[in-house]
Chains A and B, each alone.
Chain A
Amino acid sequence: MLSGTRELSSIKHFIPQEYRTTGIKYNIIKRYIDLERFFYEVIEEGKQGYVVSGLNPSGPLHIGHYAVFKEVYEWSKLYDLKVNLPLTNDETYVVGKTNSLHNSYFIAKNQVIPLLRKIGFSDNDVYIDTDNLKMYQTAVYISKYIQYKEGRRVFGYDVNDNVGKMFYVSAIQIAQILMPQIIDPINEILEPKPTLIIIGLDQHPYIMLARDIAKKLNLYPPTAVYIDFMPSLIDPNKKMSASKPESAIFLNESEETIRKKIMHGFTGGKSKEEQLRNGGDINRCSVFKILPYLGVEISEIEKIKFKCKSGVLCYNCKKLIAQIVINRLKNQKIIE
Chain B
Amino acid sequence: MLSKFAKYMPHNIQENNIIVGYGGTFDGYDLPIDEIRYWLFMHLYKKFLESKGKSVKLVYIIADKGVFHNYGENKETCSWRAKRISQIKALNKFFNNEFEVMLQSEIKITKDDIKNVNYLTKRYNNLLEKTIPPSRISQERKRKYLYTLEELLTFIKITNGKYLIKVGPPREVFYDKLIKILKRKFSPLYLKPVYPVNCTWAYYLYRSDVREFGLTPYKVGDKGYLEKRILITDDVLTIKYKISNTRVSKEYLPEVLSPYYDLVNLYYYYKNKNVIIDDLANELYKISKEVMGHK
Q: Which of under 10, 10 to 19, 20 to 34, or 35 or more describes the interface residues of A?
A: 10 to 19
Q: Which residues of A contact B247 (CB under 8 A)?
A: 16
Q: Which residues of B contact A157 (CB under 8 A)?
A: none
**Would B200 and A43 count as touching, CB distance under 8 A?**
yes
The one of A14, A36, A44 in contact with B249, judged by C-beta atoms closer than 8 angstroms, is: A14
Q: Which residues of B contact A153 (CB under 8 A)?
A: none
Whose C-beta in chain A lies nearest to the C-beta of B203?
A44
**Would B249 and A40 count as touching, CB distance under 8 A?**
no
Q: Does B202 contact A (CB under 8 A)?
A: yes
Assembly CA distance A14 to B247 (angstroms): 11
**Would A16 and B206 count as touching, CB distance under 8 A?**
no
A305 to chain B, nearest CB (A): 26
Assembly CA distance A264 to B15 (angstroms): 82
**Would A14 and B205 count as touching, CB distance under 8 A?**
yes
Whose C-beta in chain B lies nearest to the C-beta of A37?
B206
Assembly CA distance A37 to B206 (angstroms): 6
Q: Does B268 contact A (CB under 8 A)?
A: no
Assembly CA distance A286 to B200 (angstroms): 39
**Would A15 and B206 count as touching, CB distance under 8 A?**
no
Q: Which residues of A contact B205 (CB under 8 A)?
A: 11, 14-15, 36, 39-40
Assembly CA distance A39 to B252 (angstroms): 17
- The B200-214 residues at the A interface (CB cut-off 8 A) are 200-207
Whose C-beta in chain B lies nearest to the C-beta of A12?
B249
Q: Which residues of A contact B271 (CB under 8 A)?
A: none
Q: Does B106 contact A (CB under 8 A)?
A: no
**Would A14 and B201 count as touching, CB distance under 8 A?**
yes
Whose C-beta in chain B lies nearest to the C-beta of A36?
B206
A93 to chain B, nearest CB (A): 41
B66 to chain A, nearest CB (A): 29
A179 to chain B, nearest CB (A): 25
**Would A42 and B251 count as touching, CB distance under 8 A?**
no
Whose C-beta in chain A lies nearest to the C-beta of B206?
A40
Assembly CA distance A19 to B249 (angstroms): 10
**Would A44 and B251 count as touching, CB distance under 8 A?**
no
Assembly CA distance A336 to B201 (angstroms): 41
B235 to chain A, nearest CB (A): 25
A72 to chain B, nearest CB (A): 20
Q: Which of B200, B204, B207: most chain A CB closer than 10 A?
A: B200
Q: Does B42 contact A (CB under 8 A)?
A: no
Q: Does B199 contact A (CB under 8 A)?
A: yes
Q: Does A216 contact B (CB under 8 A)?
A: no
Assembly CA distance A11 to B201 (angstroms): 11
- The A1-54 residues at the B interface (CB cut-off 8 A) are 11, 13-16, 19, 36-37, 39-40, 42-44
**Would B202 and A13 count as touching, CB distance under 8 A?**
no
Assembly CA distance A44 to B247 (angstroms): 10
**Would A44 and B252 count as touching, CB distance under 8 A?**
no
Chain B window 85-98, contacts with chain A (Cβ cutoff 8 Å), 1 for yes, 0 for no: 00000000000000
Assembly CA distance A307 to B211 (angstroms): 43
- The B217-251 residues at the A interface (CB cut-off 8 A) are 247, 249-251
**Would B203 and A14 count as touching, CB distance under 8 A?**
no
A28 to chain B, nearest CB (A): 20
A204 to chain B, nearest CB (A): 22
Assembly CA distance A42 to B252 (angstroms): 20
Whose C-beta in chain A lies nearest to the C-beta of B211?
A14
**Would B249 and A16 count as touching, CB distance under 8 A?**
yes
**Would B202 and A40 count as touching, CB distance under 8 A?**
yes
A185 to chain B, nearest CB (A): 30
Q: Which residues of A contact B204 (CB under 8 A)?
A: 14
Assembly CA distance A16 to B204 (angstroms): 12
Q: Which residues of B contact A15 (CB under 8 A)?
A: 201, 205, 249
Chain B window 172-214, contacts with chain A (Cβ cutoff 8 Å), 1 for yes, 0 for no: 0000000000000000000000000001111111110000000
B227 to chain A, nearest CB (A): 12
B43 to chain A, nearest CB (A): 36
Q: Which residues of A contact B201 (CB under 8 A)?
A: 14-16, 19, 43
Whose C-beta in chain B lies nearest to the C-beta of A43?
B202
**Would B250 and A44 count as touching, CB distance under 8 A?**
no
Known: A43-B200, A43-B201, A44-B200. A13 touches B206 (CB 8 A): no
Known: A36-B206, A40-B206. A13 touches B199 (CB 8 A): no
B174 to chain A, nearest CB (A): 24
Q: Which residues of A contact B199 (CB under 8 A)?
A: 44
Q: Which residues of B contact A37 (CB under 8 A)?
A: 206
Show 14 A/B contacts (Cβ-Cβ < 8 Å), sorted by A. Answer: A13-B251, A14-B201, A15-B201, A16-B201, A16-B247, A36-B206, A37-B206, A39-B205, A40-B206, A40-B207, A43-B201, A43-B202, A44-B199, A44-B200
Q: Which 10 A-B pairs have the closest CB atoms?
A: A40-B206, A43-B202, A39-B202, A14-B205, A36-B206, A44-B203, A44-B202, A43-B200, A44-B200, A40-B202
